Structures are given as structure tokens and as C-alpha cells.
Structure 1
């Protein structure tokens, strides 16, 4: 819009200049016979007497004033253009201040979470400390509650492995299955078996976000271990899912393309030699590795406080676990809807049926296996009926 206004102003100024500095016509007018017309001559004399004070200057003075006017108009146009450029520059500065960079966001996250432990895979740049101009004006830090400490610990794990809360909850539910003695160790082993974490641990990606980018851009391939019933060796498969969990014996390599190989080698040269954990193998020259075993609890990429992490996962406000009961002495689960709606023959229900607990109780105190008649409950699991499963 600024350049349109400048062009319009220049056109108007040039038009005014052309109208103002038109050369005057000659005052001598004669008829065909060489005699001046009387009426026209009188009118010309009157006009010349009235407009004597507004008479145009000579040719030299008119040319000088015209050049001066052109210079002034050009200076005005330059001033308009400069002002528009300054406004545009100020607008760009304001936009830069409104939208902070990604590096600033990572620094804020590190400044908030690193007092409770490092986040190695979040950023390879060091934390920049703020200089307090007036240290005496710093506000005292409140004492953190156990729930707040759990939130910080969960955020550290989430930022390190570059996952969201929903993914972390899914891994927690898998780690807290029946028969797990140390669920946090199993949780960390699951997180360490992700394909993007493998790329970061062997050094072909500087951060977990860069490892996710490499997987998403089809730079990584895997090959599963051959099984006895396979009639041929498995082939290399390109993986573009960062949450892919590796199995024991899987081989991982960088895709044999110039772009993929160059990206991985550049990252290796920038970071230098990396300490690879014992359960992984990696060849820096050929860019190929292997996943041999689960990660040991002492070699996890991030230090985790188990007490704060497990307290909320196991508490009444923790994750909702699936309650599965098995028939005694078997691995067959007892389904929720049993015998068309009868009570399930779980150990506690059978014990209540034998002892007769809750026969005289009312309301929610009566167990579900004793609802109905007092002496012969209607939903007895020992009664035989039509085995209909809804």
C-alpha cells in the first residue's frame, strides 16, 4: 500500500507542475485584413491591466522554479518511502518478539525441570543461567507438595523420551501387569526399547527430537531375527514409527542412501564418540547395530526417582489397571459377564458363598454373590444353567 501511495503522489505532483508552468500565449491577434478587432482588443487590454500583478515570469525564471519544484517533490516522495520502510521494519521487530524461538522454549523447560535432575536427550545446548540484577528481590520458592514432585518427575521422563502423557500411561499399564516385581524397571526397559531411543543412544542423533525426525523421514531400517519355521531370511524393512518397540535380536541400520548416510555421519562427527550401553551393538563405520537384551536398570539414559514416580501410579488416583481373575490352577481368565450375568466364581466370591457373609447385611455392604434370597442366593456360581455369554 505504501508504494501505491507514493506513485499516486508523484503523478499528482507532476500534473500540477505541468498545469502551473504552461508557457503564455502571444497577445497579438489580427483579423484576416490585418486590422485588430476592437471588441477583442479592448477585452485583451482589460485582462492585461487586471492580471498585471499575476503576470508569469520570464522563461529562465520559470525553468528554475520548475526544477526546484521537481526536487522538492522527489524529496517528499523519498521521505514517504523511508517512513513506510521504517514502519515495516518496526512491524517485523514486533512479530519477532511475539513469537519466541524453539531454542528459548527448550531453555525454559530445562530451567524448570533440571533442578530435579538432568534431561540428557532434550537438548545438547547447555543451560543458560539468568543473571539477577537485584538478587534481593528474588521471591522465595514454595515448598513442593508430593503431587507436584510427581508431576515434575513425570515431565522429566516425558521430555527425555519425547512422548506425551497418554503414551506414558500406556507404557505404565503394560509395566504394571501381573507378576512384575519391579514395575519401574520394566517401564524404563520398555522406553529404552523404542527405535528413536536406540538412534539417540548409539549417537546418530543429537537429541530425541532429531532421532524422531530421522525415523519419520525413512532413514532407519530394521530386520528381525530369523525364526526356525521361516523358509528364507527376513528382509530389511523401513520403519517410520518412532514408538516402534524393538525385539530381542533385531538388527538396525541407517538406510543405504547418500542422504541418510550423510546425515547420520554428520551427527556422529558433531557429537564424537558416544558410550553405547552393553545391551546394544553399533558399528560406527558401517552404521549398523543390534538389539541384544533388555536395558539394565543401571544403564538407563535418564536418572529417575522411583519413589515419586511409583507413588501416584499405584495410589487411588493412579492409572486404572485392568482387573483380571483366573480360574484356580489355570491361566484361563474369568470373563466379566459369566453365565449370562451370574456372579463370577472368583476366590473371594466362593468364600463368601461358603461362609454366608452378608446374608443379613443391607445395601452396598452385601456382596453381589449374596443378592436375592437369604438362604439360596439367585446368582450362585455353582448352579448349572444355560451358559450364555452376552
Structure 2
């Protein structure tokens, strides 16, 4: 499946924030990439601002355009605030839950663990990163994968109380998806109302 595999620092510099996590390059070069990155005075159009916000959300969660559009359409047809529901749907993706539980250091690494059948949902192996985790379901590490170094290193010292909608059980290396997160609890710096405006044009 097509995924962005280019330089992540370049994308982070484009948006001016570490959307893939801590980034040493961003602290040294906090301006857009390219020949004129530090000297650009061009004003971004209203449409450009909305488009950039959508691109930022897509890169942050590692979702392709078609998947993102489908999630938006489902959020739009659901009762409630469309932008919030969109973010909540992205948070419920299995790869994101694995990342939030600290099983993987990044969402890309979480996608790889899911794809390689190291992750279970309610005791059954699920290898679809976009699988929507439902409240009450338990996401864990497959028994034979618990000794994997990448998982052990990621879990070491991870603060499991960061996200109030998740509950971690160290003894079984699994976490429970307690409920859909409130927008205020989702830490991502995404202006979802701009994405709604973009798709509404």
C-alpha cells in the first residue's frame, strides 16, 4: 500500500511542528524546507491554510487520502460535531491505539507491529492497522511477541496515565479502550474545523 516514506523532518518543517514526534532537525531549522524556506513572504490563501491542516492530520495519523475522505464522510453522517468525530475515529484506529498504549514508539512502528501480526484485539490477532477499536475492547501484545526488543524498549518508562480513555495492565501487556476520547483530551494540534470547511467547499 502507498505510504509516505520520504524524509519525515522535511514534512515536520513544512508544518513547523514535530508531527512525527521529537525532531532534532526541527529545533535547528524551524522554517519550511527548500531553497527559499527561510525567506518566504508569500501569504497563504484561505484554501491553502485549510488544505495544509488536512495534510497535517493525514501525515500525523498516517492515513491516505481515500481512507481520510471515507472517515470524514462517516463523521459527517453521524450525529454530533463532524470535526470532533473525525478525530475520534482517527484515535480509534488500531495502529493509533497501539501507539498511544506505548507498545510502539511511533505510529509507523505501530502499523508495522499490527501488519506483522504481533497485536491482538480481545485475544484474537488483528493485522489491519485501520481496524476501529470499540470501547471495552482489549488491545494487547501476542504471547509469542512479548519478548520483542522493540516492544520492551518502547514500554520501558512509558507513562500510561497520559491518556484517560486507555487503561494499561502491565501483567498481561494489554490495554483497554475504555471510551471514546473527549476532544480536549486528544493532544494533537489539529484545527479540525478547517478540515470540515475544506470538505464543505
Q: TM-score, normalised by structure 1?
A: 0.46
> How far has the Cα of 1:139 moved from its partner?
2.8
- Distance, in Å, in 2 between the alignment partners of 1:131 and 1:140 is 13
Displacement over 6 Å in runs of 4+: none
- Distance, in Å, in 2 between the alignment partners of 1:285 and 1:125 is 32
What is residue 150 of structure 1 aligned with on the other side?
A: 50
The alpha-carbon distance between structure 1 residues 144 and 279, as it changes in their structure 2 partners (threshold 3 A), is: same
> How far has the Cα of 1:261 moved from its partner?
4.6
Contact 1:124–1:206 under 8 Å retained in 2: no
Contact 2:87–2:192 under 8 Å retained in 1: no
- Distance, in Å, in 2 between the alignment partners of 1:254 and 1:140 is 47
Q: For 1:94-152, what per-residue CA distance to the aligned partner results, in whole angstroms no more than 9, with x for missing partners?
A: xxxxxxxx6x71111111012xx551xx24433242499xxxx9534211101111111
Match of 1:197 among 78, 91, 96: 96
Write the mapping of 1:266-305 to structure 2, written as runs, cut at 5 A. 266-269=153-156, 272-305=158-191
The alpha-carbon distance between structure 1 residues 277 and 131, as it changes in their structure 2 partners (threshold 3 A), is: closer
> How far has the Cα of 1:272 moved from its partner?
3.5
- Distance, in Å, in 2 between the alignment partners of 1:107 and 1:149 is 20
The alpha-carbon distance between structure 1 residues 253 and 143, as it changes in their structure 2 partners (threshold 3 A), is: same
Q: For 1:319-376, what per-residue CA distance to the aligned partner results, in whole angstroms no more than 9, with x for missing partners?
A: xxxxxxxxxxxxxxxxxxxxxxxxxxxxxxxxxxxxxxxxxxxxxxxxxxxxxxxxxx
Flag structure 2 segments of 5+ consecutive residues without an equivalent.
32-36
Write the mapping of 1:357-372 to structure 2, written as runs, cut at 5 A. none
Aligned pair count? 191
Root-mean-square deviation (CA, aligned residues, Å) is 2.4
What is residue 108 of structure 1 aligned with on the other side?
A: 10
The alpha-carbon distance between structure 1 residues 219 and 143, as it changes in their structure 2 partners (threshold 3 A), is: same
Contact 2:139–2:174 under 8 Å retained in 1: yes
Q: Which has the larger radius of gyration?
A: 1
Secondary structure of the residue that 1:281 maps to in structure 2?
A: strand
Q: TM-score, normalised by structure 2?
A: 0.85
Write the mapping of 1:66-81 to structure 2, written as runs, cut at 5 A. none
What is residue 66 of structure 1 aligned with on the other side?
A: none
> How far has the Cα of 1:237 moved from its partner?
1.0
Flag structure 1 segments of 5+ consecutive residues without an equivalent.
1-101, 224-235, 316-390
Q: Does 2:64 align with 1:177?
A: no
